[in-house]
Chain A
Amino acid sequence: MKNFNCPTRFLALVAFVIAVPLISGPVIAQDDGARTYWKGRAGTNVMSVQYLNMNLQASDTLQFDPSHYIYPSADAEADIFILSWARHMTLFDRPSILSANLMGGSVDVKFDTTITPPEFLPPGVVPGTSFSQSASGYADPSVQLDINLFGTPPINAIFDYLNYEPTWTLDAAFMLGVPLGQYDNDKVVNLGLNRFYGRIAFPFKYHFRVFTPGYMSSIELVPSVWLFAENDDFLGQKLQNDPMWQI
C-alpha cells in the first residue's frame, strides 16, 4: 500500500482545487423561468431586456433520449429578444409579483430531408426535398401572478426587507399565454402558438445559511402543470396537448 505524506496530500488537494473549476462549467437551472417568486419590496418595478443569438448545428443523430430525433446537418439560427417586467406588490396582505413577458425576433431552420427517415419528418414536409423555414415577429406575450402562501411577510418598506430572513416559502403562481404572436398556419416554424396556454405552479424555496450576499443558499422546487388550449389550425389540422406535469 502506498503511503502519501502530507506534502503529497497537499499537492493533490491543490491540484484538485485547480482542476475543479477548469473542468466545470456553470450550472444553469433548466426551465425555471424568470424565478419571479423571489421577493422584493412592494412597489419595486423590475425590467429586463435580454437578447439571445443562437446558432445551432447538428452533425449527428446521437441523442440521450431515443424518442427524440436530431436532424443531421440541421441548422437553426435565432435572434431573440425578451422583454420582462415585474412589479412587487402586496395582494390580500401577502407579498405578490405581477410579471409580463414579451418575446420576439426571428428564427431560421434548415435541414436535409433526404437523409431523414420519413417517420421523423414534420407534418407537410415532403421527403427528398430541402426544408427551410423562417419566422419573425413577436411571440405570444404572457402574464403571471405569483402570490405567497406561507413563509414570507409583506415587504412594504425597506425595514420589512431588513427584517426579512426567510427559511422556507411556498407560493402559488398562475401564468397565462395569449395567442397574439406571429403565426402562419402553413408553417411548422412559428413564434406564436395560436392557442392559449398557461401554467399553475407552486414555487417552494428553502433557504439555509445566512440570508446575506455571499452566503445565501436555497433549494428551489417548482412543481407545476402546463395547460394548453387547442390549436385549431396547425397545417390544417387540430393540435391538442394533454396537461404537462413538471418539476
Chain B
Amino acid sequence: MQRHKMHSCSVVTRHTFANKAGNVVMSLCLLIISGALLLSTNISNAQQRERPNFLVIVADDMGYSDLGSYGGEIKTPVLDDLAQQGMRFTDFYVSPTCSVTRSMLLSGTDNHVAGLGNMGELLAPNQVGQPGYEGVLNKRVATVASLLRDSGYHTYMTGKWHLGLQPDQIPHARGFERDFSLLVGGGDHFDDGWNVEWQIPKGPYTEDGRPVEKLPKDFYSTKNYTDKTIQFIEEGRGDGKPFFAYMAFTAPHGPLQVPDDWLRRYKNQYDEGWDVIRTRRLSRMQELGILEEGVSTAERVFFLPRASMLAPGARIALGRKMEIYASMVEYMDDQIGRVFDYLKEIGEYDNTVVIFFSDNGAEGNDLVGMIAGQAGSMGYLHAAANFAESGHNYIGRKGSFAEYGPAWAQVSMAPFRLWKGFVTEGGTRSPLIVSGPGVQGAGGINTNDFLHVMDITPTLLDLAGVEHPATFQGRDILPMQGKSWSPVLSGEVQSTRGPDDWLGFELFGNRAIRQGDWKISWHFQPFGTWDWQLFNLDADPGEQYDLSEKFPEKRTELIALWDEYVEMNGVILGNRSPYEGAQKALPAAVKEDDSYPPVRGLEQVPHKKLIELLSQ
C-alpha cells in the first residue's frame, strides 16, 4: 500500500508541470495509471485475503491428557470440536519449561541460540553472560511476529511473554503491533497481580508497549486476554489485512485460581484419587487412538503414595486442587470458544489457521518452594504475605496459592513419566491441535510424525508465503532449525521428519536426544541415573525400560548426536542445577503394601486390581 501511494504522488507532481495541451494526454495517462493502480490494489487486497489468519493459542503448564480429545475427563468441548475439524498430533515436543518453549516458538530455532539456553531466573554461574544464555529472546533471531508484520500482517499478542522486560525486549519491540502482556512468568490471575518473585513483587503488564498502571477490578487473566484479543482483531480488521494473533494464556499455571462461580464445577469429581483417574484416562486414550494398546506407561513416581492409602478426607483435600485445575482448563476452553464465535461472526473463522498446544509438561514441582525459597528469606516472606490463604475452602480464590503437586501432574501427563522441568516425555510432550484452511484429514490423529515447537515459525511463514531472511533490521540473524508442517497439513506426507532426523533437548542439565522411536536421556538422580539411558518410545512411551545394555550401539550413536547438538547450538551445561540436590531433598520411597489399608472381614484386593475395578 505504501508503494502505491508514492507512485501516485510522483504522477501528480509531473501533472503540475504539464502544459495545457499536454493536460489532456496527461489526464488520460492518469486515468490509465489510476486504473492500473486500482486494479493492482485490488489484486493486492485479494492476495492479502487469500493469506490465512493465524491464531496460535498456548496453554500454560497444561498436561498432555487433560483435553477431552486426548482422553481427559475435563470438559473441553470447544477444543474437542477444533480437534474434529483439524488434526491432532501425538508426538509434539516442547521444552520442559515455559520461557524456553516460547523462545523457540517465536524464533523457529533452538533455545540455546535464541537466548534461553536456560531460564533467565535460573542461570547457572558459568552460563551468565554467554551467547545464547541472555535469559531473554536475543537479537540474533527475528520473531515470526516481526516477519509477518513486515509482510503485511496485523500482529497481536495477549498473555504471557516471559522473554524480556527491557523496552527493547517486550512484545511491542519484538514485532507485535498490539499487545496486552504479562512480562514475567506468572502470578496472581486476579487484579492483585502478585508475582511469586519478590524482586518483581507485582507482575508487570504492558498494553501496546506501555506499562499498565492498574489492572481493572474484575480482572481475571484468561477472560481479559480473550477480551483483548477480540478487541485487537475488531479494531484492526477494517483494512482487510490478515492477522497473526498469539494468545498466550497463563492458565492453568499456578496459582490455581478461577472465578468464584467456576470454583465448584468439578466438586468431588477427583475424590477417588489419582490412580483411578489416571487409569480411566489411559483407557480413554486407547479408545481414541492417542495411545496404542500394550505399550508401557509410567509407574507412579517412587515418593508418591497410592491414593487408596490416604484417608478419605485427605483425598478430598488433595482432590480439590485438581478440581480447581480442571475448572481453569474448562474456563480457558470456554474463552477460546468466545474467540471462535467472534471469528465466525465476522466471517474469518474459515480463513484462520488455529494452532493449540501447551508450553511444557504439567507442573509437578513446588513452584513457590523453588522460586520463593526457604522460610526466612525475602522471597518466602513475600510469598507468605501475599499468597497466605490456603484454607480448604479458600484455595482457588484471590490471595491463595495452590498447586496440585506431582501426583496430579502425573495424571495430567499420562501416560508419560515425570512433569515440567524434565526432558522425559512427561516434561516435553504436549497435545497439539492444528485446524484451518488447507488442513486435511479432519478429525484425524497423526501418530507417525514427531514435531517440535520450533516448527511453528517456519510453518506460519510458509503458509503466509514469507521467506525467512538472512538479515533483519540491518543485522544478521540465525537460520531457523524448525521444519514447516505444510506438507503434513496438506496431506502430502505423513511425517515432517524422516528416520534420520533428530531433536535435541537440554535444560537444567537434564538432556535428551530423540531420533525416530529411539531416545536417550540423562537426568539427575533420583529421577535418572546420572548417566545416559536408552528408551524405545514406540513400545515404551512411559520410559520404563532402559535398553542401554541391550542396544549399546544405538546408545553410542545417539550420544554422538548429543555431541553434535552441543556443538551446533553452543550448549553450556550449567555448573549448578535446581535438581542437583533432589536426591537428598525428596522424601523416601513409599512402601507399596497390598495389605494396607486393612479391610476387616473382607478379602484384600491387590492394589492394581482395585484400581482396575474402581476405574470401570
Contacts and interface: CB of A to CB of B under 8 A. Distances in A.
Interface of A: 157-159, 162-163, 165, 210-215
Contact of B313 (A162, A165, A213): A162
Given A162-B317, A163-B267, A163-B268, A210 B393 contact: yes
B316 interface: yes
Contact of B393 (A157, A158, A159, A212): A212
B394 A162 contact: no
A132 B494 CA distance: 105
Given A159-B313, A163-B267, 18 more contacts: A157-B313, A158-B311, A158-B312, A158-B313, A159-B271, A159-B316, A162-B392, A163-B268, A165-B264, A210-B391, A210-B393, A210-B394, A212-B389, A212-B394, A213-B391, A214-B389, A215-B391, A215-B394
Interface in B1-24: none
A220 to B, nearest CB: 19
Contacts of A158: 311-313
Contact of A214 (B312, B313, B391): B391
B397 interface: yes
B448 to A, nearest CB: 46
24 contacts: A157-B313, A158-B311, A158-B312, A158-B313, A159-B312, A159-B315, A159-B316, A162-B392, A163-B316, A165-B264, A165-B393, A210-B391, A210-B393, A210-B394, A210-B397, A212-B391, A212-B392, A212-B393, A212-B394, A213-B391, A214-B389, A214-B391, A215-B391, A215-B394
- Smallest CB-CB A-B distances: 4 pairs: A212-B391, A158-B313, A212-B393, A212-B394
A89 to B, nearest CB: 20
A221 B312 CA distance: 35
Contacts of B315: 159
Q: From DSSP, what is the main secondary structure of chain A's interface residues? A: loop
A212 B397 CA distance: 12
B312 A157 contact: yes
A155 to B, nearest CB: 12
B319 to A, nearest CB: 10
Interface of B: 264, 267-268, 271, 311-313, 315-317, 389, 391-394, 397
A213 B312 CA distance: 22
A99 B581 CA distance: 56
Contacts of B391: 210, 212-215
Contacts of A215: 391, 394
A214 B391 CA distance: 9
Contacts, number: 34
B234 to A, nearest CB: 37
B396 to A, nearest CB: 10
A211 B389 CA distance: 12
A157 B315 CA distance: 13
A162 B315 CA distance: 11
Contacts of B311: 158
Query: Quick one: which of A163, A211, A214 has the most chain B CB within 10 A?
Result: A163
Contacts of B313: 157-159, 162
B388 to A, nearest CB: 10
Contact of A162 (B264, B316, B389): B316
Contacts of A211: 393
B468 to A, nearest CB: 52
Nearest to A212: B391
Contacts of A163: 267-268, 316
Contacts of A210: 391, 393-394, 397
A165 B396 CA distance: 15
A165 B393 CA distance: 8
A212 B313 CA distance: 16
A210 B393 CA distance: 7
B334 to A, nearest CB: 23
A117 B394 CA distance: 60
Contacts of A159: 271, 312-313, 315-316
Contacts of A157: 312-313
A162 B321 CA distance: 13
A6 B531 CA distance: 64
B578 to A, nearest CB: 33
B401 to A, nearest CB: 15
Contacts of A212: 389, 391-394
Nearest to B312: A159
A165 B268 CA distance: 13
B196 to A, nearest CB: 22
A203 to B, nearest CB: 22
Query: Quick one: which of B267, B271, B393 has the most chain A CB within 10 A?
Result: B393
Nearest to B267: A163
Nearest to A215: B394
Contacts of B271: 159
B374 to A, nearest CB: 25
A165 B316 CA distance: 14
A45 B394 CA distance: 27
Contacts of B312: 157-159
B392 to A, nearest CB: 6
Contacts of B392: 162, 212
A4 to B, nearest CB: 23
A216 to B, nearest CB: 9
A22 to B, nearest CB: 26
Contacts of A165: 264, 393
B62 to A, nearest CB: 27
Nearest to A157: B312
A166 to B, nearest CB: 10
A214 B394 CA distance: 10
Contacts of B389: 212, 214
A159 B394 CA distance: 16
Query: Quick one: which of B311, B313, B315, B397 has the most chain A CB within 10 A?
Result: B313
Contacts of B393: 165, 210-212
